[in-house]
Amino acid sequence: MQSFEGEVKAGKLEICMEDSEMAISVSGFCLASHQCAGEENWVDSRTIYVGHKEPPPGAEAYIPQRYPDNRIVSSKYTFWNFIPKNLFEQFRRIANFYFLIIFLVQLIIDTPTSPVTSGLPLFFVITVTAIKQGYEDWLRHKADNAMNQCPVHFIQHGKLVRKQSRKLRVGDIVMVKEDETFPCDLIFLSSNRADGTCHVTTASLDGESSHKTHYAVQDTKGFHTEEDVDGLHATIECEQPQPDLYKFVGRINVYNDLNDPVVRPLGSENLLLRGATLKNTEKIFGVAIYTGMETKMALNYQSKSQKRSAVEKSMNTFLIVYLCILVSKALINTVLKYVWQSEPFRDEPWYNQKTESERQRNLFLRAFTDFLAFMVLFNYIIPVSMYVTVEMQKFLGSYFITWDEDMFDEEMGEGPLVNTSDLNEELGQVEYIFTDKTGTLTENNMAFKECCIEGHVYVPHVICNGQVLPDSSGIDMIDSSPGVSGREREELFFRAICLCHTVQVKDDDHGDDVDGPRKSPDSKSCVYISSSPDEVALVEGVQRLGFTYLRLKDNYMEILNRENDIERFELLEVLSFDSVRRRMSVIVKSTTGEIYLFCKGADSSIFPRVIEGKVDQVRSRVERNAVEGLRTLCVAYKRLEPEEYEDVCKLLQAAKVALQDREKKLAEAYEHIEKDLILLGATAVEDRLQEKAADTIEALQKAGIKVWVLTGDKMETASATCYACKLFRRSTQLLELTTKRLEEQSLHDVLFELSKTVLRCSGSLSRDSFSGLSTDMHDYGLIIDGAALSLIMKPREDGSSSGNYRELFLEICRNCSAVLCCRMAPLQKAQIVKLIKFSKEHPITLAIGDGANDVSMILEAHVGIGVIGKEGRQAARNSDYAIPKFKHLKKMLLVHGHFYYIRISELVQYFFYKNVCFIFPQFLYQFFCGFSQQTLYDTAYLTLYNISFTSLPILLYSLMEQHVGMEVLKRDPSLYRDIAKNALLRWRVFIYWTFLGVFDALVFFFGAYFMFENTTVTSNGQMFGNWTFGTLVFTVMVFTVTLKLALDTHYWTWINHFVIWGSLLFYVVFSLLWGGIIWPFLSYQRMYYVFIHMLSSGPAWLGITLLVTVSLLPDVLKKVLCRQLWPTATERTQNIQLRDRVSEFTPLASLQSWGAQSTRPLAAQCSSYSGRAVCSGWESEEYTVLPHTHPGLSHNTRYGCCRSSLETPT
């Protein structure tokens, strides 16, 4: 079951609904069901005839429905529709569509560029994608076929028949053997076990490998043979398929002989899901209710919504800008063309006459064609290859995470998982982290610490290494020994803990294939399995105190008490755990016939329901424990009279058979039952902090990331954990926004008070800092609980200023360094994430969690990270990235995220830059060729520029670049601030790159123009033509853009050398070859010997050198000056790194001792220095020492650090 002290593992509720002897009188139910049919009006249901047997006439009018067969189709395409469908899918992407249009325009109208130039890359991209998708689809087809054709055992006319799985129909009765997977969603009719249970693992569904018990329908569990089952005459009504794996509502009508039907409720405990595997049970019979694509598994495979990274968004914005530039360029040229041609002597000179058909063409048609032709001419400014490169960079780059040794957890044998590669760079942009507590910050490895019974504290003996003393009498009675009644209570308490749970005892017969997490060496102790570690810890703890839970057999729970006697309790009801009630109860009947209700749950949900018991003592103990960070549970009981029990039974049964709102009705029933309890005591369970959790949080906070803890735990426990992991420090002033406080004051007042506190301080801070007085900065921590949050989130009744509280709340949060949200329901976690996500700064959020209760926030946040934890794979499966431990987040964000961001932003900017360089000269050339769309470069150059001459260096850069070392990034988290808020893709930076591109293009073009104009550039007097001019511009360009990248590269591995010098060499070799032969397949030889002739002229060499230098010079100069005058934290680090290495005598020694003592002081200095410079640029002390940071602050010429310090006054 669940951990009551908060963490709501919603995904894994195992409702142990015991349909014991609770058959409701048939007539009574029918009445109820008719009423229900009237009020529920459930059209969304289906009726299944078990074994295709019609129900007796007149039972009820059923609407026949058509169901799909059991074919699983995960493939998208068939052999026939692959090409059209795939093409359609691909061209739905806006970029591909754009390129297709360009290509078509090129085909249709007479354009200067050959359709090949844009067709070839597009064709390449489309083909590669199609092949990849086709292959994937083929694999899916294969898997589908294997699945659809695997044999399944049916019952047909009382005999066992083998058929292919795909022929299964709804209503068929299926037999499944041990270790087989269920072929479709089945209602569990019977198993070979006498108690009608079976065990199932859902490892392939949600990743949980623990065994779950499912229960057969009460009335059919006796049918053990094929004939028996075939004789079953029943119908099932159930809801239409829903994707929720853990919810199912239905009922079965069993027609016995000629009597009225027996109606039974069906819940998810009766449902066996496709994909799950039968374990520990020889065989089961079930009836198919959902088949094929309607199974819950198939419904769950629907792909998640695509998350797009901030980089991708800015990339798309830039694309639109470039599209506008493109259109305006084409428009300008078209207009100018007609202006230019308006002079008759230019329109049609004698040497360039038009054909007759051209003269007769409509002017507007001609202008439109010209416009399209210009579009085509300049279309390379938006390169297809950028998309390919970005995709490749993301795909290949994501492997660095999976390969990372530091993020591999040897203990678990797990490494990080990358479920999407689209968000790599988003890891470098995180501003808010929402973390779960249990299992994420803590280990979720529970150890029973103590229990408190009526104020007396019991601590079981524990030997250091965690092994239990063999003699089970180890009780330390801290307080004075209790009296006789106390002893009674004490035993009742232990029994309560022994009984009130849903722990399973591992079956020793099948022991080898069950992974028991804690096999005790002591043979007497059992191995307990539960989805909640708290329960296991409690049952084990109480075992050490003398009471051992043995097993559940035939609805009797067996307990071995201190005297080694076996006590048997009949389990009557389980009021299962849920996150709203935060408690669970069992109703048991002792051998003496007394009926007890035992209830355990969070203190806040138990105390209000207690009418008797030493509440104050227990409460004080609970609070003490909570402050120490222990997870506490309270235990209470009540004795039920038989009549009372009858009422309870009726109440529950009525709720259970309801088809609609069953949950709500159950909750109401539980609410009614669990009251007037007698408090017994409380337990405390310790959950240790994960290793390096504190270190990680500290680093993340230094990196400028706000860490919020969202937990279902109670406030005290959670805040203790927060202190332990240094989220709150001694100096942190805690602000509380809790239900307790709201009881005293209205929400309005509290909020305003808090905001005043926070704002006053930040206001005074800035004043003080100018006068240089303030040195101690307050940092605030906010604690808010779920109830208060829902008050804030709730729109106000008057509606006049709804959302006002939210703003105020956000304002407070923004000024707090840490926020703790406790008592959160899973959905509230997602709400918080959403609230921050859509607040006015639109920060990038990251959610990390390990349990199913975190899935909603993982899906909601920009980046969802799952911790591959003890509580199954739900979170990991739904996350974008999964890591084994919380501590790995540090490297994930600070190193990988930083690198990815640096890399992809350079990739994007560089791509636009190099295409501006490429196309702008083409645009300029139109002014000299009468706007006739003459290309500047040869077709081969146009085609290959983006594909081969300049593609590899940037791709490899974007995979390999490390602007500072990995160690430095880890050691100095504040460097992360340098790239915050998408710093490298801001408009300013983008415009800088674009202007750099324009400047370079002007240099290439006019440099070459003035060189060519009027002068002979050869020593033999021969002249060059237009293709030589284009080639010269192109050569300068290829060298400039490649060298520009080389200048930006900080990390030169042999691969970088290889690709950068290699592509330059390739360009030269290609040009030599391309112009070296008369290519037989070309109708023109315009490039013949052009390149070689160009190189044979001295001025061309001089010109190339000069133009490359002039193009690069301003950027280098800007870099050098900015680095000197307004260095970012990263650049300082680089400088220090450099200085450090220079100061060392032997370079080898410096490398080896890097990070060791000799460099420590410097490193520490560096980090503190840059940290101070970043965070406290306002402080006058810094101001005097660091005069050069001030221009950076005021001018905002540098990207990250200074800005962030302005925006977040800390």
By annotation, the residues acting in catalysis are 436
Taking the complex as a whole, how short is the minimal distance between the CB of residue 413 and another protein, in angstroms?
4
Return the residues of window 995-1024 that contact another protein according to CB under 8 A: 1007, 1009-1024
Task: Output 487 or 1057, the one with its CB closest to another protein.
Answer: 1057
Query: 222 Cβ partners below 8 Å, 6+ apart?
Result: 190, 196, 228
Rule CB under 8 A: say whether 363 interacts with another protein. no
Rule CB under 8 A: say whether 84 interacts with another protein. no
The binder of another protein chosen from 240, 620, 1085, 1196 (CB under 8 A): 1085
The binder of another protein chosen from 419, 660, 739, 762 (CB under 8 A): 419
Site string for another protein, 899-938 (x = CB under 8 A): x----------------------------xxx-xxx----
The binder of another protein chosen from 335, 966, 989, 1043 (CB under 8 A): 966
> Three-state DSSP class for 866?
strand
Return the residues of window 134-153 that contact another protein according to CB under 8 A: 136, 139-140
Return the residues of window 199-238 that contact another protein according to CB under 8 A: 204, 207
Pair 281, 510: CB distance under 8 Å: no
Taking the complex as a whole, how short is the minimal distance between the CB of residue 166 and another protein, in angstroms?
18
Pairing state between β 234-239 and 45-49: antiparallel
Return the residues of window 86-125 that contact another protein according to CB under 8 A: 112
Alpha-carbon distance 281 to 177, whole Å? 8
Element (H, E) at 251: strand 250-254
Instruction: Compute how many other C-beta atoms are within 10 angstroms of the C-beta atom of residue 426.
Output: 26
Rule CB under 8 A: say whether 1119 interacts with another protein. yes
Return the residues of window 294-333 that contact another protein according to CB under 8 A: 301, 303-304
Task: Output 346 or 794, the one with its CB closest to another protein.
Answer: 346
Task: Output 874 or 982, the one with its CB closest to another protein.
Answer: 874
Pair 1210, 731: CB distance under 8 Å: no
Rule CB under 8 A: say whether 800 interacts with another protein. no
Pair 90, 129: CB distance under 8 Å: yes
Q: What is the strand order of the sheet 262-266 is part of?
A: 45-49, 234-239, 250-254, 262-266
The binder of another protein chosen from 1113, 1149, 1164, 1206 (CB under 8 A): 1113
Return the residues of window 850-889 that contact another protein according to CB under 8 A: 873, 877
Alpha-carbon distance 199 to 507, whole Å? 11
Return the residues of window 396-415 that contact another protein according to CB under 8 A: 399-400, 402-405, 408, 410, 413-415
The binder of another protein chosen from 83, 1072, 1185, 1206 (CB under 8 A): 1185
Alpha-carbon distance 681 to 1141, whole Å? 64
Rule CB under 8 A: say whether 353 interacts with another protein. yes
Rule CB under 8 A: say whether 81 interacts with another protein. no
Pair 723, 628: CB distance under 8 Å: no
Report the amino acid identity of residue 202.
Answer: T
Rule CB under 8 A: say whether 802 interacts with another protein. no
Taking the complex as a whole, how short is the minimal distance between the CB of residue 141 and another protein, in angstroms?
11
Report the amino acid identity of residue 402.
Answer: T
DSSP per-residue codes, 894-937: IIIIHHHHHHHHHHHHHHHHHHHHHHHHHHHHHTTTTT----SS
Residue 894 sits at φ, ψ, to 5 deg, of -70, -35
Return the residues of window 1051-1080 that contact another protein according to CB under 8 A: 1051-1056, 1078
Alpha-carbon distance 864 to 855, whole Å? 9
Taking the complex as a whole, how short is the minimal distance between the CB of residue 1206 and another protein, in angstroms?
23
The pair of structure tokens assigned to 418 is: 């990358």
Alpha-carbon distance 1009 to 1029, whole Å? 8
Rule CB under 8 A: say whether 987 interacts with another protein. no
Instruction: Report the C-alpha dihedral over residues 977, 897, 952, 422, rounded to 10 degrees.
Output: -120
Task: Output 455 or 1076, the one with its CB closest to another protein.
Answer: 1076
Rule CB under 8 A: say whether 349 interacts with another protein. yes
Alpha-carbon distance 614 to 619, whole Å? 8
Pairing state between β 548-553 and 556-560: antiparallel
Report the amino acid identity of residue 362.
Answer: N
Task: Output 393 or 982, the one with its CB closest to another protein.
Answer: 393
Return the residues of window 1124-1183 that contact another protein according to CB under 8 A: 1124-1125, 1134-1139, 1142, 1165, 1169
Instruction: Report the C-alpha dihedral over residues 135, 137, 138, 141, rounded to 10 degrees.
Output: 170
Report the amino acid identity of residue 192.
Answer: N
CA dihedral sign, ordered 1089, 1095, 1099, 1104: positive
The binder of another protein chosen from 734, 1110, 1155, 1171 (CB under 8 A): 1110
Element (H, E) at 589: strand 583-590
Report the amino acid identity of residue 101.
Answer: I
Instruction: Compute how many other C-beta atoms are within 10 angstroms of the C-beta atom of residue 484.
Output: 7
SS3 for 115-126 is HHHHHHHHHHHH
The pair of structure tokens assigned to 21 is: 């002897």
Task: From 168-176, 221-229, 421-429, 1097-1105, give the range in contact with another protein by CB under 8 A.
Answer: 1097-1105
Rule CB under 8 A: say whether 1121 interacts with another protein. yes
Rule CB under 8 A: say whether 1187 interacts with another protein. yes
